[in-house]
Structure 1
């Protein structure tokens, strides 16, 4: 006789992470042992230092508040589908927070002893639980869990031999796993799980008619759109994209990007009308490249035309997509992609210099500003840059400025040709306001810092996130030295900078609801840049500047340095570092998915798990803004 209660429990929990990745057997076993608990409004579920329960909890109906009674701070709200109380499962410790019913609740108690072996056997479940626990404790860098969340960042092997990808043949998988059109979705899923593969080819009369990938299961079955009992023809991608076996890596990359797919079918003559020989996946392309960006760096440095660099930047985006799919740590991804972006910029400068009739009259430096200056520019966005040249006698200044303005216009035009849009506000070196001698820059910086109106604070905040993209480092160092000396002289500037850091709108409104755009082109979309990333970026900038720390412009590296400088705020700063990387990774994934900057997110298109991950970063935003308000006494001085 069927257990109707356990079936209803299974039907509910299978929609939420981490239970949505469990196989049917594990799901049923778990559902039969889950405890159903009713809690009245304001009733306590567990308290601080209470001994471990035998269950962790999933909210079925209602909402739960997690708080710290000592500080009277509400740290999180958990609503339908959220899990909490993971400490006994992960850390084997008594509770550090209080959980209380915000309203009438029905909770599912998940037996820890039953669930622990399931989690150990499923890497995706384990990763999700670790991330949830780390986020809730605000410290994903605890010694016990370090390296288990996203992996330890390893060093590149500089001696590893690589090949140029434009002529190298792609290596594809010849071990074909296929099924017939009559196969059920469930059988195909079991086959993929058994063989540990990411795709199955659908064959009819010995010819390939379709392909099923992990993405098809996520988008069409797990989402609830189609039943698992249906045939594979209802979810397969058809017709298949086919190519002959003599396919170069570059051709494969371009084919995948053109059709927005991750698998190509290799056939005898390159058409669907002959027998399939194998499958080439995006992962195979990454393996063929050796997972080493050195091949791209060499190719970029050899490029003598902007058009060639533009083509290579497509390969950079393919590399970025592959790294994200492999869940490589964001910090390492950012270092690699930033180095490739900087190499592109340097080559554009080199080509532009070669087009000038005369060599530069004096030494200069090309500065990357904004996200590129912070080594956080992963997607193609607009350009923010500046040029500084050595001081010259007054009578030589107009002629020298004219030369560097012409050079800057050639460079910004070249950057535009390789994929960087022009800055709408013209914060580029081609603008005379951003192409100055060292002394002129010092004068401008002094004015911004000593007269901190809203516009001056905006200008200076953009300019403080810079890095050397090309040229003489000593010019950048002298500018940095001048900035710190001037800030020491005018400490009120930090208060205005702190006030600017608090102007970013809150990411959530009442009861943790996302605050979306109210009008305009992106009405009802969530602005992940302005409401989530910018508050963290602005806060890190003013805090690191207040410590007079030079040479660190990257946001998460700034927070990690702050954690060293202020041990009492260690947890908060590391939580901000984690949140910044998580948000940037999320934005990058969205940008690659929708072929845009990833800034504006359509919430209806996100899964429950994605929304949960976003919301977990918002606690750090709220707390860092509270710290800035108290430290710089913004309300008292400016109010």
Structure 2
């Protein structure tokens, strides 16, 4: 009878655990081991389950019912209070028990609560026997994010079934073996092979099958037919040298982004030794509601008027929405959107240049803000400017007037394509943002040397810049000057850090989240901004060239001695908030409501609520580093 009762308890524990990550994906023997060793304990309201004073944790706790308050202790709190609540299915203290150290948090029962607990020895045995649980403990937020993407794909299962999965490795997309010839093969022989094999491209490779060039069907008319090229001459004379290639392990998304960035329709797939495996074409990658990458990019590059670019802008949005439905990650999505929007912006600039005589003027078009960071979402306005140099012995003012007239046409063209005019007039047509290189340097220096609140706000916008069109050297010179000035003025960075800490993560002491009056969280102001602000300060302190938040975090935080897993968790937290913003904007486009960057946490499923809490915890860790670094 006692054995039957034990079996019932084990069964009940298993049933509960299977509703939560990572237990719902654990190996059956590992889950059975956990259920056999889990003891259900009652903790009355107000009781302490674990504190730093108790030393190294003796148990892993899994909340079964009720709520547990995790409160940071000691002098390292970032805000007036640093606390979050844990609900059913959540575990603690994973970091402390894994590292054999006391917990940095105190855990107190908010309500009468029940928790499963297993001993420290059983925890480490579970980590050893279960790869799923081990990965969960070392890559906590990444594991949850993967499950969230799977849930999203399931919710769009019908649409996703009709579309190719963007996470598929390229090696799985390769069909028949690629046709290839050596560089000394006659052009006639290569064309005959293309015809016989009914392929649209011919790879040129060395004797070890390492690609050195490619000839595609679209090259035939301009390179062979019209010039009357002698077909007995080697194909090396008409091929495109150094063709774009990716490893077989790269994803379909990686190939799509490369095609979007470089305006190409074929990519070579190579193995680990750079030997040819095959070719993937744009046709292999996309059948997204008949809106293909090649069509969009070709439409942008060949557009002769703004009306054509308006249609391309709509296609970019539709393609992005389809990728959201497939569960493509936020980093890839924002890169994808930025790459196509960059191409569209450059085409608007090219069309405007046809109406303005700017020959001989050395200038560059700047993107600021989210566009400057490669982080555009589906709802974004314009933030841009111009940097230029005045030739010797020429009057600067007439040049400035011509550039401003040109910029006004570009700003209006972008507005017509769905990028609203900036309400704050942060646009290149504003004379205050059409400056020479020296004027930009002086402007930055004034903000750094006299950092009043407006200067700090300006820095948060204009220091995230990159060149979209024109002389990139001007951008590099301004970046080097900016990094030199900020490193020489640590007080400015300290004030930026103090300013960044004024917006704490919206984590509640009792409730999961601190909401605004309308019951929502602004994921831009109270979410993404926290990561962006911290990453900017780290990058300026170290002198990093990149304007991307993710690259700033990866390069700067890792140089500060933070582990790779911690950096990855911070990046994943930022990505998840970006994904929620994109998903909210996706829903806005479907039902006509205005959500933009706001989200009601009560509308999220339990998994996404849990990840959002973890994302805000990562933001809090970044702010803690700022606070400690600058003694705030």
Task: Please state which band the TM-score falls in when normalised by the shorter chain.
Answer: 0.5 to 0.7
Which piece of structure 1 moves more, 590-599 or 92-101?
Answer: 92-101
Contact 1:495/1:632, CA 8 A, preserved across alignment: yes
Change (3 A) 1:480 1:593: same
Per the alignment, residue 620 of structure 2 pairs with 622
**TM value normalised by structure 1:** 0.64
Per the alignment, residue 63 of structure 2 pairs with 58
- CA offsets 1:78-122 (integer angstroms, 9 cap, x no match): 43324215969xx99979858844343212569999x99xx99xx
* 1: CA distance, partners of 2:624 / 2:404: 43
Match of 1:37 among 36, 41, 48: 41
Per the alignment, residue 179 of structure 1 pairs with none
- CA offsets 1:137-164 (integer angstroms, 9 cap, x no match): xxx59xxx9999989989989x999xxx
1:439 aligns with 2:438: yes
SS of residue in 2 equivalent to 1:350: helix
Per the alignment, residue 473 of structure 2 pairs with 474
SS of residue in 1 equivalent to 2:65: strand
> What's the CA shift for 1:614?
0.8
Match of 1:556 among 528, 545, 550: 550
**TM value normalised by structure 2:** 0.65
1:460 aligns with 2:459: yes
1:576 aligns with 2:583: no
1:332 aligns with 2:332: yes
Contact 1:153/1:332, CA 8 A, preserved across alignment: no
* 2: CA distance, partners of 1:286 / 1:350: 28
- CA offsets 1:44-83 (integer angstroms, 9 cap, x no match): 5998765777xx7233123253879998999874433242
* 2: CA distance, partners of 1:94 / 1:629: 26
Per the alignment, residue 115 of structure 2 pairs with 107
SS of residue in 1 equivalent to 2:473: helix
- CA offsets 1:15-54 (integer angstroms, 9 cap, x no match): 76678999xxxx99x999986432342145998765777x
Per the alignment, residue 377 of structure 2 pairs with 378
Contact 1:381/1:597, CA 8 A, preserved across alignment: no
* 2: CA distance, partners of 1:160 / 1:524: 49
* 1: CA distance, partners of 2:24 / 2:321: 24
Change (3 A) 1:33 1:461: closer
Contact 1:61/1:80, CA 8 A, preserved across alignment: yes
* 2: CA distance, partners of 1:298 / 1:569: 43
> What's the CA shift for 1:561?
0.3
Change (3 A) 1:360 1:436: farther
Per the alignment, residue 527 of structure 2 pairs with 532
Match of 2:586 among 568, 588, 592: 592
Contact 1:535/1:621, CA 8 A, preserved across alignment: yes
SS of residue in 2 equivalent to 1:387: strand
1:188-227 → structure 2 map (5 Å cutoff): none
SS of residue in 1 equivalent to 2:88: coil
> What's the CA shift for 1:425?
0.7
> What's the CA shift for 1:624?
1.8
Contact 2:386/2:435, CA 8 A, preserved across alignment: yes
Contact 1:87/1:94, CA 8 A, preserved across alignment: no
> What's the CA shift for 1:598?
3.5
Per the alignment, residue 367 of structure 1 pairs with 366
> What's the CA shift for 1:331?
2.7
> What's the CA shift for 1:298?
2.5
Contact 2:487/2:540, CA 8 A, preserved across alignment: no
Q: Comparing both chains, which one has the higher relative contact order based on Cα–Cα distances under 8 Å and sequence gaps of 6 or more?
A: 2
- CA offsets 1:443-474 (integer angstroms, 9 cap, x no match): 22222222211111211221111111111101
- CA offsets 1:462-503 (integer angstroms, 9 cap, x no match): 111111111110111121122123334433222222222223
* 2: CA distance, partners of 1:363 / 1:156: 42
1:492 aligns with 2:486: no
1:423 aligns with 2:422: yes
SS of residue in 2 equivalent to 1:557: helix
> What's the CA shift for 1:286?
4.4
Per the alignment, residue 161 of structure 2 pairs with none
Per the alignment, residue 83 of structure 1 pairs with 90
* 2: CA distance, partners of 1:606 / 1:548: 39
Q: How many residues align?
A: 487
Contact 2:387/2:440, CA 8 A, preserved across alignment: yes
- CA offsets 1:379-416 (integer angstroms, 9 cap, x no match): 13111011112224575212111111111111111111
SS of residue in 2 equivalent to 1:510: coil
Contact 2:304/2:351, CA 8 A, preserved across alignment: yes
Contact 2:379/2:596, CA 8 A, preserved across alignment: no
Per the alignment, residue 604 of structure 2 pairs with 606
SS of residue in 1 equivalent to 2:354: helix
Contact 2:500/2:530, CA 8 A, preserved across alignment: yes
Contact 1:58/1:83, CA 8 A, preserved across alignment: yes
* 1: CA distance, partners of 2:602 / 2:59: 37
1:276-291 → structure 2 map (5 Å cutoff): 286-287=286-287
* 2: CA distance, partners of 1:432 / 1:386: 9
1:81-230 → structure 2 map (5 Å cutoff): 81-85=88-92, 97=103, 100-103=107-110, 104-108=112-116, 134-135=139-140, 140=142
Change (3 A) 1:308 1:541: same
* 2: CA distance, partners of 1:378 / 1:156: 26
Change (3 A) 1:487 1:563: closer
Per the alignment, residue 178 of structure 1 pairs with none
SS of residue in 2 equivalent to 1:511: coil
> What's the CA shift for 1:377?
0.6
* 1: CA distance, partners of 2:167 / 2:389: 39
Per the alignment, residue 280 of structure 2 pairs with none
Per the alignment, residue 240 of structure 1 pairs with none
> What's the CA shift for 1:322?
3.0
SS of residue in 2 equivalent to 1:567: coil
SS of residue in 1 equivalent to 2:48: coil
Match of 1:544 among 536, 539, 543: 539
Contact 1:361/1:400, CA 8 A, preserved across alignment: no
